[in-house]
């Protein structure tokens, strides 16, 4: 009976040890499983962190590219503006050069004409320039002066000088007693 009890106790202890071993194995397996889950969670967190970092780098790259494109557009705009200013400056310089050459040409022309006028003999005696007035009721001549007498009508005066050569000077005075004088001349 003692031996039977010892055998039962040994069997009981062996079963308890086996049960403890299975519990330890189960705890170790659960611990390994929890460690694997924790590692998987850590890897997922790291993957998410890397994705966020990648997105941040992509956004930064896009921002830098946008800034670069904006800078290039600004540089092109400034270059175009500079070219436009250069063209305007060149055009103003050409106009100034043309104006200056025209002024020089006109100055030379005025000097030449002044010399020509100075070389022309004095004009004919004004008493010799007698106007041809068809209707003396509306206008008459008194020396170099033509006097219009009709307040509302028009009058015609013509001259027929004899020009043989050179430049002819023509001068005279016109007097109109109207409040609103009207005068026209044709040569």
- If one compares 114 and 55, the residue with the highest pLDDT of the two is 55
Per-residue pLDDT reduced to its tens digit, 27-53:
999 999 999 999 999 999 999 999 999
Task: Report d(CA 8, CA 39) in Å as an integer.
Answer: 45
What pLDDT score does 145 carry? 77
Q: Which residues pair with 147 in a beta bridge?
A: 140, 175
- % of the chain with per-residue pLDDT over 90: 51
pTM, full prediction: 0.35
- Closest Cα to residue 166, out of 114, 119, 110? 119
Per-residue pLDDT reduced to its tens digit, 96-126:
999 999 999 999 998 888 887 666 555 545 4
What pLDDT score does 126 carry? 47
What pLDDT score does 127 carry? 47
Contact 116, 161 (CB under 8 A): no
Question: How does the average pLDDT of the chain come out, rounded?
Answer: 84
User: Which residue reads 């050569």 in tokens?
Assistant: 165
Task: Report d(CA 142, CA 127) in Å as an integer.
Answer: 9
- % of the chain with per-residue pLDDT over 70: 79
Q: What's the pLDDT band for 154 if we cut at 50, 70, 90?
A: confident
């Amino acid at each position: 009976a003692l031996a039977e009890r010892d055998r039962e106790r040994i069997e009981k202890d062996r079963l308890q040890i086996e049960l403890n071993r299975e519990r330890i194995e189960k705890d170790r397996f659960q611990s390994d499983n929890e460690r694997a889950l924790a590692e998987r969670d850590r890897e997922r967190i790291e993957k998410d962190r890397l994705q966020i970092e990648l997105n941040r780098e992509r956004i930064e790259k896009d921002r830098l590219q946008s800034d670069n494109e904006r800078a290039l557009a600004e540089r092109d705009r400034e270059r175009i503006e500079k070219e436009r200013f250069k063209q305007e400056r060149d055009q103003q310089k050409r106009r100034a050069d043309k104006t200056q050459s025209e002024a020089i040409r006109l100055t030379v022309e005025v000097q030449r004409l002044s010399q020509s006028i100075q070389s022309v003999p004095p004009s004919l005696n004004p008493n010799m320039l007698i106007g041809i007035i068809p209707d003396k009721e509306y206008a008459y001549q008194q020396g170099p002066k033509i006097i219009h007498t009709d307040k509302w009508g028009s009058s015609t005066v013509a001259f027929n000088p004899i020009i043989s050569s050179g430049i002819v000077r023509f001068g005279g005075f016109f007097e109109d007693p109207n409040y609103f004088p009207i005068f026209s001349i044709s040569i």
